[in-house]
Chains A and B, each alone.
Chain A
Amino acid sequence: MTRVKICGLKEVQHIEAAKGADAIGFVFAPSKRRVSIEQAAELAQHVPISTDKIGVFVNASLEEIEETVEKVPLTMVQLHGDEPDELVEAIGVPVIQAFSIRSKEDVEKLERSKADFILVDAPGTDYRGGSGKVFDWSLLEGAQVDASRLILAGGLNPANVRAAIGQTNPHMVDVSSGVETDGRKDAVKIQEFIKQAKGGSMQQAVEKIGFFGKYGGQFVPETLMKAVKELEEAYAEAKRDPEFINEYHHYLSEYVGREQPLTYAKRLTEAWGGPKVYLKREDLNHTGAHKINNALGQALLAMRMGKRKIVAETGAGQHGVATATVCALFDLECVIFMGEEDIKRQQLNVFRMKLLGARVESVTKGSSTLKDAVNEALRYWVTNVEDTHYLIGSALGPHPFPTMVRDFQSVIGEETKRQIVAHEGRLPDTVLACIGGGSNAIGIFYPFIGDESVRLIGVEASGEGLHTEKHAATMAKGTEGVLHGAFMKLLQDEAGQVLEAHSISAGLDYPGVGPEHSHLADIGRVEYVSITDAEALDAVVTFSRLEGIIPALESAHAIAQAEKTAKDMKPDELMVICVSGRGDKDMATYAERLEGLS
């Protein structure tokens, strides 16, 4: 199974085009394709984590190489000069040594290399490194080099790569000028090259879609791979089927009660004295929150796949209720995993689910909250994968879940965009939403991502404060890692153990944020800030009394931040807050925490 390396990349769009490749190369030696360490580090943010990032050097010092490996960071090093064996052996990461092949004598030289991989290329011309000339592949026949160490370069292009692979069966093929037009990389040629190189092999099915920059992936046990792949295919197909989309919208309108208003918040606007404030009213959805948009879409997809059993996790219980609701509607068998701690906090929702006919399983492991409920739901799915669909509730998990959940929630942002333009004749200046895993936020943000004038603010829960250990502020305090099938930002300790999150709001109590948000944070498109339990509770009171809407604790985080952000905005500016859910489910918490309210 030959791998593909696309070399000499300098632009994000070409990194994106090269996602199906197994490796990408950054050139640090003098060349028209040269990039600085800083540029490479920036570009590396967009490379899926499981793709190799290879740095190309010509006679660089060990120090230079090590510094570059660390800063970009690189996973492999490719040497194109006259590097001595000592240097090759001193480099910590796997090394590719390149050789120009003119004759049989050159082949002998490469046979003696100490490097992990051998790259063979046509003789260099204007600079060391690839010249793009085709060399005589037959020279390699009979060479004492294990094909598993061999990387083929030199004059490859989409038209000849299959033949080259057929002749030498190399470990990898490497292309640079063969996927360029007028000296610049060409996205279409890159994709065509990858397709040709992988033609006929199963690799075609495992193109690295499902990554947002370096985040995402499918980090699940082998038992789930078939289900995840089937889901990926089924969703890709359903997404293009107008009948499926119509059915989804039919239920959104006739059952959920969409579209939901974008309410002008007159008293809030006056009280804050800042921008004109609009509220996206997800609280008005059937079942009381945005969760049903996604539950409905996934239930329709599950039935399309012939699966009539649903497993789901829930934190606050809103996703559990939404799932139990659609399962009742479509007569699907339903089991919901919920942390024991959350069951205590959300008694009413537990009974709702039972009333709707779902089986609620209490999870007593770990922190007994959302993270542990996801673990149990995944285990249940592993065991019942043939006839069961895992209806995940947030923009988390292995691909295609983050993409699918985002798509089903994007109806929030699409409506908002239409409505604000209808009301005001222009796009908003600021959009705010709360973030646990991040589904309502990605839903309202997504249609605005390309509108650079719109400031997007995601609000996570800092619980009892960022200075304490009791928070759920992954963006502020988290680091990269793998949890629940995706590479994303996580709250974890030095040893890579995932930490328990804390928030008064059960729905934000998750120690990670989905892969797309993780990427949006890295590239700076969305700002992420945090709000404490106390600030959120204050916002609940303010909002209830000024607008006559009792918000969910989760949504109150966005409202609390909106008040802060409003202070720096002008009266002619527009702000939209996503009111992701209503506060009914939190009434017991409100009664307890706001006791003595006058």
Chain B
Amino acid sequence: MKRLQDLKESGGKAFVAYIMAGDGGLSRLSEQVQYLQETGVTAIEIGIPFSDPVADGPTIEAAGNRALKEGVTLQKVLDEMKNWTFEVKIPLLIMTYLNPVLRVGVEHFVKECKKAGVSGLIIPDLPYEHRELVEPFAKKEAIALVQLVTLTTTEERLEAILNEAEGFVYAVTVKGITGARDEMSGDVQAFMRRVRDKSPVPVYAGFGISKAQHVELLREDVDGFIVGSAIVQAFQDGTIREIEPLIQAVTALNPV
């Protein structure tokens, strides 16, 4: 995760891709990760399907349901990753709801993540108040527990969360669930600036980023972008090459 900090310091912008593990079968995961890595993304979030994904919109939920039908589980994803023989050159994160983690055991989960080469965790239904459930275990394996902040996060909470932020801060750009959108609310820029001013780690905008114009709008106010639904949909439709311009829009000016 240190390279994310380095990228920020060199003035570059990060492109973080989200994919749903096992959408189209678990065997596709390695080719998807390799493809994205070759295309120049900065980091990859590997989503774990869950039966009740309340923070996700229809695109990611549908992808999760397809993955569940394939019998994909948290453990299977980690086992798959442990067997990869290709070189992973960028940080990989696991994004999962809390319940599958509790089910396999937090300590076991974190150790398995370490073995699978995971360097960060995002757990959308584990708020700051309950981070103790996971954080001490993650810390022991030097895995970052990435926190989310949103437009509804109060000033006091924001400071507390940023104070302990690790890896990067996931700044949610919308009041709502994941999913591609046409419009961005006007107060997003101000919010991003506020978060970035206070954050000791890079600030990435996520939820609803699907177009180059979103990137242009926020480019100066964030350290990177997280793109989920648009990528998940493109993999599903077989049109992933059409995402490349979006990745370029973010990373083209980065120092090599």
Binding site for B on A (CB under 8 A): 1, 3, 22-23, 49-52, 75-76, 92-94, 116, 201-203, 205-206, 217-227, 229, 365-366, 371, 375, 378-379, 382-386, 479-485, 490, 492, 494-499
A378–B56 alpha-carbon span in the complex (Å):
11
A201–B159 alpha-carbon span in the complex (Å):
11
Nearest chain A CB to B55 CB, angstrom units: 4
- 8 Å CB contact of B139 from A52, A94, A218, A223: A94
CB atoms of A220 and B125 under 8 A apart: yes
CB atoms of A498 and B103 under 8 A apart: no
- 8 Å CB contact of A221 from B55, B130, B136, B154: B55
Nearest chain A CB to B187 CB, angstrom units: 12
Closest to A367 in B: B51
Nearest chain A CB to B236 CB, angstrom units: 17
Quick check: which of B26-34, B35-43, B169-177, B243-251 contacts chain A, the rest being far away?
B169-177
Best-buried of A227, A365, A482 by chain B (most CB within 10 Å):
A482
Residues of A near B149 (CB, < 8 A) are 222
- 8 Å CB contact of A116 from B55, B130, B139: B139
25 pairs, A vs B, C-beta closer than 8 Å: A1-B163, A3-B132, A22-B132, A49-B130, A51-B132, A92-B107, A93-B137, A94-B136, A116-B139, A206-B129, A222-B148, A224-B152, A365-B61, A366-B51, A375-B53, A383-B175, A384-B175, A386-B175, A483-B99, A484-B54, A494-B103, A495-B74, A495-B100, A497-B68, A498-B99
CB atoms of B152 and A226 under 8 A apart: yes
CB atoms of A223 and B150 under 8 A apart: yes
- 8 Å CB contact of A480 from B102, B126, B139: B102
A499–B68 alpha-carbon span in the complex (Å):
12
Closest to B134 in A: A50
Nearest chain A CB to B141 CB, angstrom units: 10
CB atoms of B130 and A50 under 8 A apart: yes
Q: Does B189 contact A (CB under 8 A)?
A: no
Nearest chain A CB to B182 CB, angstrom units: 15
Nearest chain B CB to A433 CB, angstrom units: 26
Known pairs A221-B54, A226-B153. 15 more at Cβ < 8 A?
A22-B132, A50-B131, A52-B136, A219-B125, A219-B126, A222-B124, A222-B147, A222-B152, A222-B153, A223-B152, A226-B154, A226-B157, A371-B52, A382-B55, A483-B52
Q: Does B50 contact A (CB under 8 A)?
A: yes
A353–B126 alpha-carbon span in the complex (Å):
35
- 8 Å CB contact of B54 from A50, A375, A497: A375
Q: Does B253 contact A (CB under 8 A)?
A: no
A481–B153 alpha-carbon span in the complex (Å):
26
Residues of B near A219 (CB, < 8 A) are 98, 125-127, 130
Q: Does B140 contact A (CB under 8 A)?
A: yes
Per the 8 Å Cβ criterion, residues 106-160 of B in contact with A are 107, 124-133, 136-137, 139-140, 147-154, 156-157, 159-160
Binding site for A on B (CB under 8 A): 50-55, 57, 61, 65, 68, 73-75, 97-104, 107, 124-133, 136-137, 139-140, 147-154, 156-157, 159-160, 163-164, 172, 175-177
- 8 Å CB contact of B50 from A22, A203, A497: A497
Residues of B near A492 (CB, < 8 A) are 99, 103
Residues of B near A222 (CB, < 8 A) are 124, 127-128, 147-150, 152-153, 172
Nearest chain A CB to B17 CB, angstrom units: 21
A224–B129 alpha-carbon span in the complex (Å):
13
CB atoms of A1 and B160 under 8 A apart: yes
Nearest chain B CB to A512 CB, angstrom units: 10
Residues of A near B136 (CB, < 8 A) are 52, 75-76, 94, 116
- 8 Å CB contact of B140 from A116, A382, A499: A116
CB atoms of B177 and A383 under 8 A apart: yes
CB atoms of A382 and B54 under 8 A apart: yes
Nearest chain B CB to A305 CB, angstrom units: 15
Residues of B near A94 (CB, < 8 A) are 136-137, 139-140
A384–B176 alpha-carbon span in the complex (Å):
7
Closest to B53 in A: A375
Closest to B176 in A: A383
A383–B137 alpha-carbon span in the complex (Å):
32
Nearest chain A CB to B134 CB, angstrom units: 9
Closest to B57 in A: A379
CB atoms of B107 and A93 under 8 A apart: yes
CB atoms of A217 and B164 under 8 A apart: no
Best-buried of A206, A382, A492 by chain B (most CB within 10 Å):
A382
Residues of B near A227 (CB, < 8 A) are 152
A202–B172 alpha-carbon span in the complex (Å):
22
CB atoms of A496 and B156 under 8 A apart: no
CB atoms of A496 and B175 under 8 A apart: no
Residues of A near B51 (CB, < 8 A) are 366, 497-499
Closest to A494 in B: B103
- Closest 10 A/B residue pairs (Cβ): A496-B103, A496-B100, A495-B73, A383-B176, A50-B130, A226-B152, A221-B55, A497-B51, A222-B148, A498-B51
CB atoms of A375 and B101 under 8 A apart: no
Nearest chain A CB to B77 CB, angstrom units: 10
Residues of A near B157 (CB, < 8 A) are 202, 225-226
Nearest chain B CB to A345 CB, angstrom units: 21
Residues of A near B177 (CB, < 8 A) are 379, 382-383
A201–B124 alpha-carbon span in the complex (Å):
24
Residues of A near B98 (CB, < 8 A) are 219, 482
A219–B53 alpha-carbon span in the complex (Å):
12
Closest to A221 in B: B55
Closest to B163 in A: A1
Nearest chain A CB to B39 CB, angstrom units: 29
- 8 Å CB contact of A495 from B103, B150, B154, B156: B103
Residues of B near A365 (CB, < 8 A) are 61, 65
A49–B107 alpha-carbon span in the complex (Å):
14
Residues of B near A385 (CB, < 8 A) are 152, 175
Residues of A near B175 (CB, < 8 A) are 223, 382-386
Residues of A near B147 (CB, < 8 A) are 222
A572–B160 alpha-carbon span in the complex (Å):
60
Nearest chain B CB to A21 CB, angstrom units: 11
CB atoms of A52 and B132 under 8 A apart: yes
Nearest chain B CB to A58 CB, angstrom units: 22
A481–B99 alpha-carbon span in the complex (Å):
6
Nearest chain B CB to A371 CB, angstrom units: 7
A51–B154 alpha-carbon span in the complex (Å):
24
A217–B99 alpha-carbon span in the complex (Å):
13
Nearest chain A CB to B79 CB, angstrom units: 12
CB atoms of B176 and A382 under 8 A apart: yes
CB atoms of A220 and B127 under 8 A apart: yes
A218–B127 alpha-carbon span in the complex (Å):
8
A266–B210 alpha-carbon span in the complex (Å):
68
Residues of B near A226 (CB, < 8 A) are 152-154, 157
A30–B73 alpha-carbon span in the complex (Å):
44
CB atoms of A378 and B54 under 8 A apart: yes
CB atoms of A481 and B103 under 8 A apart: yes
Nearest chain B CB to A117 CB, angstrom units: 9
